Structure 1
Amino acid sequence: MKKLLFIVSAVFIIQLSFGQSPIQVEKSGKGNPIIFLPGFTTPGSVWEETIENLNGTFETHVVSYAGFNGMESIGTPWYAPIKQKLIDYIKEEKLTNLTLIGHSMGGNLATDLAAHFDNELSGLIIIESLPCMRELMMPGVPASSLQYDSPYNNQMLNMPEDAFKNVALSMARNMTNVEEKIDVLASWSLAADRKTYVYGYTDLLKLDLRPQLNNIATETLILGATFPSREMAQQTFEKQYANLKNKTIELADDSKHFIMFDQPEWLYAKINDYIAKNVQ
């Protein structure tokens, strides 16, 4: 029944600028608003099953990003225009009692938006996202050293399709335990605009949202996976979110990055419990 209601509800695509928009939003349903923010290369449709399993009735706003999911590229910078367009969208739609749910890069955007709109928020759920990915992947490397024009980026831009497919498949295997989802994840990378894929990732590596965490008072649920180990994951999340005042960190066993694929029922339960306590 929930799936049927989701399909037949009034759904429309909102283009948010006269030219190519940094984002596309699919709006559906009635009730308190929830913005769903997917990760890098990921289409907004990744949230469909999560939305179908929500307890209660909500107005959902599902976001997709330029350069991915069939959308045209907006060039560089890439992350900053997406963030600004989301700020404009929330203001234009006059969204109140708002909940933000973001996975991976979507969690970065949710953090950025929460720091901007903290007084207007009812809820904030961050899934498998770190405020400074660079510190984990490239410890001690300053953001200023990362440039669009770099040997690594040029190699990625000029990589033949077959070689890029192998890279995408290798990355996908580290993101889910569900075998049939590996090709799906890889296909999202292969369908992406290559420059957006390469330069957008540079934008993400430059991000450090840890100072902004002090500006967020909203009770925040942080959901993570135990890959590669529970101890390492717990330590990483606690260290990265040390400046966030009101938070609960929960980890899904036997899961990699895409918890919605590896432990969907666990994810639905955590989201619904949080919403019941903090939003409704």
Structure 2
Amino acid sequence: MKETLLPYHFPTKYLQLKEGEIAYVKEGKGKKVLIFVHGLSSNSDAWYRNIEELKKDFTCIAIDLPGYGRSFKNADEFTATYFADILNEFAEKLKLKKFTLVGHSMGGQASIKFASKYPEKLDKLILIAPAGIEEFTEFEGNAMNMVMNPKTIMATSDEQIDRNYQMNFFKMLKEAEQMIQDRKNIKKSADFEQHAIAIQKSVKGMLDDKVIDDLTKIKTPTLFLFSKNDMLIPNKYLHPLLTIDELSKTAKESINGSKLVMIDDAGHFLQFEKPTEVNAAIKEFMSCK
């Protein structure tokens, strides 16, 4: 995928972990460190509209998780626990003693697991439309796994890719054109099948490696950000009666003392669609003791 992805908005760095090479970006020289963790089918460049502003006050690091972007693709599993362990190894390699995780969607679920498993490493926790709050039955999970299989992923047409991305936004942005083009271009990559397998295993991992019980164990100061017009969570097909207000309330009540910010006129990709509002919420939360 390295050869087909368009250049990221910030220079790409690489770090060798036990299993393979991890790609990441690092901007800013602030004392406080933010590590950004992307969601399903995404990469570190998804955070560039946030890093542009936040690098003025913080050291901003965004990782390409295994299976995604310019990082290695082969792994036996892609669960929240696996990603949490990767994040821990990554942070140790960079000699980071204390930092804040900023996780979106699947990256939010991985960040929840990290906070439960490695609480001593965290300064604060910021969860943006995190996966793992909404629970699914075994039947619902099996249905989702059947749909998200490598062959189906690899056969996705350009037109369907456009529709899929439109579902992530309240109002489509021209700034999203690069990520959409990247998704189309990677169909030509030599490792596209490995990437498709990673997506399938990631979906299974989110369903199997639940974090709902981890939430109550978290003592780290936590900020939840949800958007009022999210079309992806809660799942409109499997849980048509569940509202985003109910889901966000469940999230907030699960972590004692956590804060909740709702963003207007934004879809699931709220940090990209409304960077000014999200960045302001992050700055305010980080300034609190």
Q: TM-score, normalised by structure 2?
A: 0.77
Task: Spell out, residue by residue over 1:33-81, the C-alpha distance to the aligned partner (whole angstroms, 9 max, x if none).
Answer: 2111111121101212212212753322211022221434214312343
Determine if the alignment matches structure 1 residue 170 to structure 2 residue 181.
no
Please tell me whether the aligned partners of residues 46 and 272 of structure 2 are also in contact (alpha carbons under 8 angstroms). no
Q: How far is 1:212 from its partner?
A: 0.8
Structure with the higher helix share, 1 or 2 = 1
Q: CA 1:201 to 1:168, structure 2 compared with 1: closer, same or farther past 3 Å?
A: farther
Q: What residue is the counterpart of 1:27 in the other structure?
A: 26
Q: What residue is the counterpart of 1:277 in the other structure?
A: 288
Q: CA 1:97 to 1:81, structure 2 compared with 1: closer, same or farther past 3 Å?
A: closer
Please tell me whether the aligned partners of residues 154 and 196 of structure 2 are also in contact (alpha carbons under 8 angstroms). no
Q: What residue is the counterpart of 1:3 in the other structure?
A: none
Q: What residue is the counterpart of 1:261 in the other structure?
A: 272
Please tell me whether the aligned partners of residues 73 and 196 of structure 1 are also in contact (alpha carbons under 8 angstroms). yes
Q: What residue is the counterpart of 1:51 in the other structure?
A: 51
Q: TM-score, normalised by structure 1?
A: 0.79
Please tell me whether the aligned partners of residues 67 and 198 of structure 2 are also in contact (alpha carbons under 8 angstroms). yes
Separation of aligned partners in 1, 2:124 and 2:114? 12
Separation of aligned partners in 2, 1:25 and 1:259? 21
Q: What residue is the counterpart of 2:211 in the other structure?
A: 209
Separation of aligned partners in 2, 1:28 and 1:179? 24
* Unmatched runs of 5 consecutive residues or more in structure 1: 1-5
Please tell me whether the aligned partners of residues 172 and 183 of structure 1 are also in contact (alpha carbons under 8 angstroms). no
Q: CA 1:147 to 1:71, structure 2 compared with 1: closer, same or farther past 3 Å?
A: farther
Q: What residue is the counterpart of 1:121 in the other structure?
A: 122
Please tell me whether the aligned partners of residues 101 and 107 of structure 1 are also in contact (alpha carbons under 8 angstroms). yes
- Give the letter for the 1:26 counterpart: V
Task: Spell out, residue by residue over 1:5-29, the C-alpha distance to the aligned partner (whole angstroms, 9 max, x if none).
Answer: x969xx7421212x534x4333344
Please tell me whether the aligned partners of residues 34 and 99 of structure 2 are also in contact (alpha carbons under 8 angstroms). yes
Determine if the alignment matches structure 1 residue 140 to structure 2 residue 133.
no
- Give the letter for the 2:121 counterpart: E
Please tell me whether the aligned partners of residues 133 and 251 of structure 2 are also in contact (alpha carbons under 8 angstroms). yes
Q: How far is 1:82 from its partner?
A: 2.7
Q: How far is 1:183 from its partner?
A: 4.7
State percent identity of aligned pairs: 18
Q: What residue is the counterpart of 1:74 in the other structure?
A: 74
Q: CA 1:69 to 1:158, structure 2 compared with 1: closer, same or farther past 3 Å?
A: same
Task: Spell out, residue by residue over 1:75-107, the C-alpha distance to the aligned partner (whole angstroms, 9 max, x if none).
Answer: 431234332121222334342331111111111
C-alpha RMSD of matched pairs (Å): 3.1
Q: How far is 1:159 from its partner?
A: 6.2
Q: Which moved more, 1:202-211 or 1:88-97?
A: 88-97
Q: How many residues align?
A: 261
Q: CA 1:187 to 1:204, structure 2 compared with 1: closer, same or farther past 3 Å?
A: farther
Please tell me whether the aligned partners of residues 172 and 185 of structure 1 are also in contact (alpha carbons under 8 angstroms). no
Q: Which moved more, 1:205-214 or 1:181-190?
A: 181-190
Q: How far is 1:235 from its partner?
A: 1.0
* Unmatched runs of 5 consecutive residues or more in structure 2: 1-8, 187-191, 232-241
Q: What residue is the counterpart of 1:219 in the other structure?
A: 221
Equivalent runs, 1:220-259 vs 2, <5 Å: 220-227=222-229, 232-259=243-270
Q: What residue is the counterpart of 2:151 in the other structure?
A: 157
Q: What residue is the counterpart of 1:62 in the other structure?
A: 62
